[in-house]
């Protein structure tokens, strides 16, 4: 099956270059709602959807309300994928979501633990953890390929797990809980 990112173009792509299904540097005017913002690359074309509390701020995606859970999603049209972003503080990367009641979340609990949580029928289950130290704008990589779920935070191995739960769900995105949370350089590519 042809990669959807290549449909409609004759430009060859080098074998070692990532083919992004979604890419967003969140370059836009301050205050623009993420759901009204156009990503740099969005092969499906549906754009961001979900919480209207997430806005562009200094070319990053931030939440403008504290102390509740807010989710924004985008559909990459696949469920075996690699999500990358630069994140601050307790932001979470969400994958294999169907609404916000069934999903996988990679995110920190505060200052000490990086956690991989399964959310099924609105209940949260901590499936794997690693200790970590928060780093400003740290690169995070969340890979879901078949039943394998792995992650890295700032280049160090993060929580991992094996599960077929929610395996066919496609919605992918960001979880916010604090106004200090921000995300930048968000990409989705197919897992190999």
Partner 1 sequence: MNVAYVVTQWIGDGSYENPMMSELLGSYELKTEDITRQEASQITPSPNAFTIRIECDQSTLDLIAADERFIVLDVE
Enumerate binding residues for partner 1 (CB under 8 A): 69, 112-113, 117-118, 120-131, 159-163, 165
Min. distance of Cβ 178 from partner 1 in angstroms?
13
Indicate the SS3 state at residue 6.
Answer: helix
Pick the closer one to partner 1 by CB: 78 or 140: 140
Parallel, antiparallel, or unpaired for β 20-24 and 123-131? unpaired
Closest CB to partner 1 among 22 and 117? 117
Residue holding tokens 């969005």?
A: 42
Min. distance of Cβ 63 from partner 1 in angstroms? Answer: 15
CB of 123 to partner 1, least distance (A): 3
Between CA 75 and CA 26 the distance in angstroms is 17
How far is the C-alpha of 118 from the C-alpha of 140, rounded, in Å?
Answer: 18
> Is the Cβ of residue 123 or residue 192 nearer to partner 1 in the bound state?
123
Cβ proximity to partner 1, 179 vs 185, nearer residue = 179
CB atoms within 10 A of CB 192: 8
């Amino acid at each position: 099956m042809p990669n959807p990112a290549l449909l409609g173009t004759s430009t060859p792509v080098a074998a070692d270059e990532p083919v992004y299904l979604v890419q967003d540097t969140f370059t836009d005017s301050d205050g623009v709602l993420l759901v009204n913002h156009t990503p740099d690359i969005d092969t499906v074309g549906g754009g961001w959807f979900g919480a209207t509390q997430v806005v562009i701020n200094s070319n990053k995606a931030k939440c403008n309300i504290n102390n509740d859970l807010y989710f924004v999603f985008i559909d990459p049209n696949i469920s075996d994928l690699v999500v990358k972003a630069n994140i601050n503080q307790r932001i979470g990367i969400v994958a294999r979501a169907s609404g916000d009641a069934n999903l996988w979340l990679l995110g920190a609990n505060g200052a000490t633990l990086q956690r991989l949580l399964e959310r099924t029928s609105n209940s949260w289950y901590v499936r794997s953890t690693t200790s970590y130290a928060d780093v400003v704008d740290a690169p995070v990589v969340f890979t879901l390929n078949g039943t394998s779920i792995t992650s890295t935070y700032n280049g160090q191995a993060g929580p991992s797990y094996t599960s077929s739960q929610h395996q066919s769900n496609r919605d992918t995105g960001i979880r916010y809980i604090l106004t200090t949370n921000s995300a930048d350089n968000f990409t989705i590519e197919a897992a190999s």
